[in-house]
Amino acid sequence: MIIYVVREGDSLYKIAQAYGVSYQMIADDNELASPDSLAVGQTLVIMTDTIPHIVMPGQSLYSISRGYRVPLNDVIAANPEITNPAQLSVGQLVKIPVSQPKLGTIEVNGYAFPNINAEVLQKTLPYLTYLSIFSYEVRADGSLSAPVDEPLIQAARQANVAPMMVITNIDEEGSFSSELVHVILTNTAVQDTLLDNIVEILQSKNYFGLDIDFEYIYPDDRQNYNNFLIKVVDRLRPLGYTITTALAPKTSGTQQGLLYEAHDYPFHGAIVDHVILMTYEWGYTFGPPMAVAPLNQVRRVLNYAVSVIPSEKILMGMPNYGYDWRVPYVSGTAAETISNVGATQLAVQEGAQIQFDVEAQSPFFNYVDQQQQRHVVWFEDARNVAASLRLVSEYDLAGVSYWTINRFFPQNWLVLSSMYDVKKLL
């Protein structure tokens, strides 16, 4: 696999020729809407194991291998037809190997809303270990507001993907409610009813496990949440179900704020099977323009997380979206969510040059709309997908979790499958 960054004057045909692959293969693999129109700075994933090199005067196999920073023995092995490596002819074709050994096998979770397009779901399932269906919403009496989840459960199991039941403290107005989850966490009778309902759904719908995504919990309910998790684990684990919790992206145990304080990293790490770190939303709808998941910030979260949670229990959050902000930014104004594919198409449409922030390891671009309003767009591309996925190996994590898979991002899956094998539990 090669991640190619489009330069001024490039065309897809020219790039395909340079790498000895077909124009159509690159267009199809990357699902390019307009293959004949590229943006400078755009990434293309080229699924090839070798780069063709034409021997120039004075070159040897040794100098060629050094130029590409590929071990000489690897170049020799990739060119068995070269019987005498010491003798090359000008104009001769030498294949330069670029494939790297995979970094291991990881677990991959994908959150999905029930309205996910069936084709998108089918294309994504081969890359998943778990499909977390969002969501069952708890109610103050212990009942649950249910999504239409049966088609997704069936599709997941047919693809050997483990379906996960997700419960949230999202209220009837559609927001995470501190007061709602306070009622759940402080009333044992309501907890018992809730657990009875959870078990009934897990069993009747053939779920694999439970994912608890309780957010914006009052700080004073931290221990109540821990006690609730004990009850959940004591009830579900003997029945063979796996338990996962979603955690805010903390950088220390003393981090303040409603989103963070009740999420007890060491306790969750000790009691549940997996934790999902929500390592995204630094750039968010009502915030100032910046990368959604800047790698320098993600590292800070991982550095703390692995110090208090077994690394093999951690799934690192991966965003599958970007934002389009109007600039100059005015506090309180909303950015528009944009898909990663849509962001690249917008850059092409506007003739914008995509830039790359090295510290954040994230792409962005600027443009001016028809009303002469300036914009900046931060999104994800193959470069920062690869950089993010390398953290899994570096920190010895269990894997990653995508929010969400409702929009298909072909480059992500090409990069992931080139770097790792995906664990299947069914």
Amino acid at 346: L
C-alpha distance from residue 164 to each of 39, 338, 355, 424 (Å): 39, 26, 38, 14
3-state secondary structure at position 293: coil
Is 107 a catalytic site residue? Answer: no
From the list 8, 31, 107, 215, the catalytic residue is: 215
Task: Answer for the pair 42, 344: CB distance below 8 angstroms, yes or no.
Answer: yes
How far CA 216 is from CA of 58, 188, 198, 265, in Å, comes to 66, 20, 22, 15
332 sits in the region (left: phi over 0; alpha: psi -120 to 50; else beta) called left
Whole-number Å distance between alpha carbons of 23 and 12: 6
CB of 357 closer than 8 Å to CB of 291: yes
The residue with tokens 């496990």 is 209
Q: Residue 153 corresponds to which tokens in the numbers above?
A: 């459960």
CB atoms within 10 A of CB 256: 9
Element containing residue 167 per DSSP (H, E): strand 162-168
Would you name the residues annotated as active-site residues?
Answer: 215
